[in-house]
Amino acid sequence: MAVQVEKSPEALLVYLACLRGGFAFMPMNTAYRMEEVDYLVGNAEPALVICDPAREDEIAEIAGRRAGAKVLTLDANGKGSLADALAAHGNAQLPPVSCAPEDLAAILYTSGTTGKPKGAMLSHRNLAANGLALREAWRFTADEVLLHALPIFHAHGLFVACHCALLSGARMIWLGKFDRDRVLAELPRATVFMGVPTFYTRLLAGGGLDAGAVRNMRLFTSGSAPLLTETFEAFRERTGHAILERYGMTETGMNTSNPYDGERRAGTVGFALPGTEVRVTDDRDNVLPQGETGGLQVRGANVFSGYWRMPEKSAEEFAEGRWFRTGDVARIDEDGYVHLVGRAKDLIISGGFNVYPKEIEEIVDDMAEVDESAVIGVPHADFGEAGVALVVLRAGKTLDEETLLARLKERLANYKVPKRAFFVAELPRNTMGKVQKNMLRDEYRDACRPAA
């Protein structure tokens, strides 16, 4: 069942009905255009597509042509032909279908920042194991009130947030989307808030956020994109709360988390969750000594079985022993905290040396004039690849390329220093706040080529 609808309680119930009825649930980002929907429906071939009434005609054409699928509608208020059909059948409750732990529960397509999206197949075991691990790690109980402002077409809002609440019998304050004023108004009624880094920077951007506003809060978590140390520290100073950062993927759910009890270290994603193992390896899957940087691999009941209709690609992603190669580059420090260095595809190999963009970005982001940055690799005639820094300045601040690069040369080996720096108004992001470096690589691929 493919679903592209606005967030509503009824939309969540559709997901739960799929679990209960033995159907595979496939959510689609509400921002997807028709070309993207066309690809996903054609690839997944669902039997039913549920969409917003405003898009019914367009999606019905795609569903019929690509999958021969039936189409029903559901709007943000829970109205539409789906609701009408249920009412016509007296809203009869059917018994749950017996499902094996390994039966397919959901297909979530990766964000597709490179190439076409791939459908990650998640089983009932995957979802249950991860939800129960998070309930334990984050101390969820029936007394909880979760302030839910995330979208539910994504693993963060649908699985992480909802499963924690549902598996503990907690309540949720259900917001259609993140709205700063509304979130601040509801915080005194809540005990837990889950967000992406953008939520926290927006909360910090104005007044009203203080210890009084969060007086009943027990936990703030952050994920889906890296949380800047500066944001972590500013939020703690304003509220007294240390944001708990964790790490997960569409294919695995959550893998690691900073501790509920104990030090939550800014710039790290903590330790492996209960039932999950993590390791850092070289290119041949050999485990590296603690403190060394390499590919991050994970194993556990939370890890998916493979990609929909892509057996060869699925096999490539697993090392011996069912270790999943995440594609993330990481190191594990002497205390066991996992540090994400970047994506393997973002690694820059300049003159034969490995350059990890996050190491450079952290230094640039610490500069007083800088709001945020992204470092990418582009073709270079001499070095094969060279780094290019894209920098967003703070309002009213100035900085030139020569000064920025000179500062980096004071702190980094020369081969790590970008060859160029450009100042931009903003960085391109997908709907979950992740910087789309593939777009930057395309735009700046000639930045280090000799002038004609």
Low-confidence stretches of the chain (pLDDT < 70) are 111-115, 451-452
Which residue is it, tokens 């820094």? 389
Calculate Rg over the CA atoms of the chain: 23
Q: Domain check: are 248 and 291 in the same one? A: yes
On whether both 304 and 379 belong to a single domain, the answer is: no
Amino acid of residue 229: T
| Number of domains, the chain | 2
Q: Give the model's pLDDT for residue 183.
A: 98
Do 170 and 190 fall within a single domain? yes
Instruction: Output the six-digit token pair for 269.
Output: 């994603």
CATH of the domain at 261: 3.40.50.12780
306 forms bridges with which residues in the sheet? 121
246-250-252 Cα angle (round to 5): 70
Q: For residues 25 and 35, what is the distance between their CA atoms, to the nearest angstrom?
A: 21
Domain annotation covers residue 145: yes
| Model pLDDT, residue 2 | 98
Shared domain check, 362 and 246: no
Are both 151 and 269 inside the same structural domain?
yes
CA-nearest of 245, 27, 250 to 155 is: 250
Per-residue model confidence as pLDDT tens digits over 207-262 = 999 999 999 999 999 998 788 888 899 999 999 999 999 999 999 999 999 999 99
CA distance 131 to 166: 9
Mapped to the 3 state alphabet, what secondary structure does the chain carry? CEEECCCCHHHHHHHHHHHHHCCCEEECCCCCCHHHHHHHHHHHCCCEEEECHHHHHHHHHHHHHHHCCEEEECCCCCCCHHHHHHHHCCCCCCCCCCCCCCCEEEEEECCCCCCCCCEEEEEHHHHHHHHHHHHHHCCCCCCCEEEECCCCCCHHHHHHHHHHHHCCCCEEEECCCCCHHHHHHHHHHCCEEEECHHHHHHHHCCCCCCCCCCCCCCEEEECCCCCCHHHHHHHHHHHCCCCEEEEEECCCEEEEECCCCCCCCCCCCCEECCCEEEEEECCCCCECCCCCCEEEEEEECCCCCEECCCHHHHHHCEECCCEEEEEEEEEECCCCCEEEEEEHHHCEEECCEEECHHHHHHHHHCCCCEEEEEEEEEEECCCEEEEEEEEEECCCCCCCHHHHHHHHHHHCCHHHCCCEEEECCCCCECCCCCECHHHHHHHCCCCCCCCC
Residues 296 and 337 reside in one and the same domain: yes
Distances (CA, A) of 345 to 174, 327, 356, 426: 36, 7, 10, 22
> Over the stretch 125-181, which tens digit does the pLDDT of each residue have?
999 999 999 999 999 999 999 999 999 999 999 999 999 999 999 999 999 999 999
Q: Is 371 part of a structural domain of the chain?
A: yes
Q: Is 262 found in the same domain as 121? A: yes
Domain span at residue 250 reads: 99-345
Tell me if 413 is assigned to some domain: yes
**Residue 347 pLDDT:** 83
Residue 88, classified by CB atoms within 10 Å of its CB into exposed (0-12), middle (13-18) or buried (19+), is: exposed
How far apart CA 111 and CA 389 sit, in angstroms, is: 24
Distance CA 381, CA 369 (A): 32
Torsional class of 376: left (φ above 0), alpha (ψ -120 to 50), beta (otherwise): beta
As to burial, measured by CB atoms within 10 angstroms (0-12 exposed, 13-18 middle, 19+ buried), residue 226 is buried
CATH number assigned to the domain comprising residue 406: 3.30.300.30
**Residue 105 domain flag:** yes
- The answer on 377 and 341 residing in a single domain is no
Token output for 338: 């996992």
Q: pLDDT value at position 148?
A: 98
The CA-atom distances, in angstroms, between 418 and each of 85, 198, 238, 371, 378 are 59, 26, 35, 18, 10
Largest interatomic CA distance in the chain: 73
**Statement to judge: residues 132 and 183 lie in one domain:** yes
170: Cα separation from own chain's centroid: 23
Q: What whole-number distance in Å separates Cα of residue 234 and Cα of residue 311?
A: 46
Residue that is last in its domain, among 304, 330, 345: 345
Q: What's the pLDDT score for residue 91?
A: 75
Torsion sign across C-alpha atoms 86, 90, 96, 99: negative
β-bridge mates for residue 174, sequence order: 148
Within-domain flag for 198 = yes
Same domain, 208 and 239: yes
Q: Is the pTM of this model over 0.85?
A: no
- Residues 274, 405, single domain; the answer is no
Domain boundary among 330, 345, 360: 345
Domain end, chosen from 345, 363, 389, is at 345
